[in-house]
């Protein structure tokens, strides 16, 4: 499993290109901006992007949807709970950010769905709170979690945006993410990677 971490756009949201080392099939997570860095990473990996997933539909995670759906020809997927947000351009107008509208998703994701990308298997975990339809993707064989804006290194997602729910966010972290093993690498939507074990003991918001 090859992971490219690509901070893009005004808020430097992490876009992830996750490529199966054996087959070059790839998953593109949160193309938040029409950034050449994403195209360059796809070319450098010789990646065959099979699916584009939005962990959630805030504008800084969906801003490149239109461009990369067209460039890769891959279908777009997210949870239906964030579909209204996707159709409102992820709240971009409230931030004064001009954004092209996202295409409609080709697929709606449900908790427990498994996305097979080459030999990689990503399980869809339902982790609402930062947004109503926020999902995380867990690749168990490679101990990797892509959790968008739920959990950060020593931080958690904000819940003051429309549709945010602090109690739901804490449940998502404690009951869903902290159910994973300590050695799972956490690839968040902003900032550096961490691990479940490090955040379980060191995250001031949710440590136990
Ligand atoms: Zn967000």
CA of 149 to the centre of ligand 1 (A): 5
Domains of the chain in sequence order: 2-202 (3.60.15.10)
Q: What is the pLDDT of residue 79?
A: 98
CA of 23 to the centre of ligand 1 (A): 31
**Below-50 pLDDT ranges, the chain:** none
Q: pTM here?
A: 0.97
CA of 61 to the centre of ligand 1 (A): 7
Q: CB count, 10 Å around CB of 170? A: 15
Q: What are the φ and ψ backbone dihedral angles of 188, each rounded to 5 degrees?
A: -85, 170
User: Which tokens belong to 207?
Assistant: 């440590």
DSSP calls for 56-93: S--HHHHTTHHHHHHHH---EEEEGGGHHHHHTGGGHH
Q: What is the pLDDT of residue 38?
A: 98
pLDDT in tens, 10-54: 999 999 999 999 999 999 999 999 999 999 999 999 999 999 999
Query: With 0-12 CB in 10 A as exposed, 13-18 as middle and 19+ as buried, what is 110?
Result: exposed
CA of 107 to the centre of ligand 1 (A): 20
What is the sign of the dihedral through the CA atoms of 163, 165, 171 and 173? positive
Alpha helices per DSSP H over the chain: 36-45, 59-62, 65-72, 83-87, 92-95, 166-171, 196-202
Q: What are the φ and ψ backbone dihedral angles of 79, each rounded to 5 degrees?
A: -85, 145
H or E segment and range at residue 23: none
Distance of CA 136 to the CA centre of its chain: 6
CA of 90 to the centre of ligand 1 (A): 9
User: Which tokens belong to 30?
Assistant: 């949160």
CA of 192 to the centre of ligand 1 (A): 16
Q: What is the pLDDT of residue 208?
A: 60
């Amino acid at each position: 499993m090859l992971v490219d971490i690509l901070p893009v756009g005004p808020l430097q949201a992490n876009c992830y290109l996750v490529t199966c080392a054996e087959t070059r099939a790839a998953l593109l997570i949160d193309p938040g901006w029409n950034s050449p860095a994403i195209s360059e990473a796809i070319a450098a990996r010789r990646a065959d992007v099979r699916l584009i997933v939005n962990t959630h539909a805030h504008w800084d995670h969906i801003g490149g949807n239109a461009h990369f759906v067209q460039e890769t020809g891959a279908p777009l997927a997210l949870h239906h709970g964030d579909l209204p947000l996707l159709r409102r351009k992820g709240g971009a107008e409230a931030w004064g950010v001009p954004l092209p509208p996202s295409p409609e998703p080709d697929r709606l994701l449900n908790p427990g769905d498994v996305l097979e990308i080459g030999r990689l298997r990503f399980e869809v975990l339902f982790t609402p709170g930062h947004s109503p339809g926020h999902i995380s993707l867990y690749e168990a064989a490679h101990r990797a979690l892509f959790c968008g804006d739920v959990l950060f290194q020593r931080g958690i997602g904000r819940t003051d945006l429309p549709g945010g729910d602090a109690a739901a966010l804490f449940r998502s972290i404690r009951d869903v993410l902290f159910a994973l093993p300590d050695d799972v690498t956490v690839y968040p939507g902003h900032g550096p990677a961490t691990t479940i074990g490090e955040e379980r003991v060191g995250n001031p918001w949710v440590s136990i």
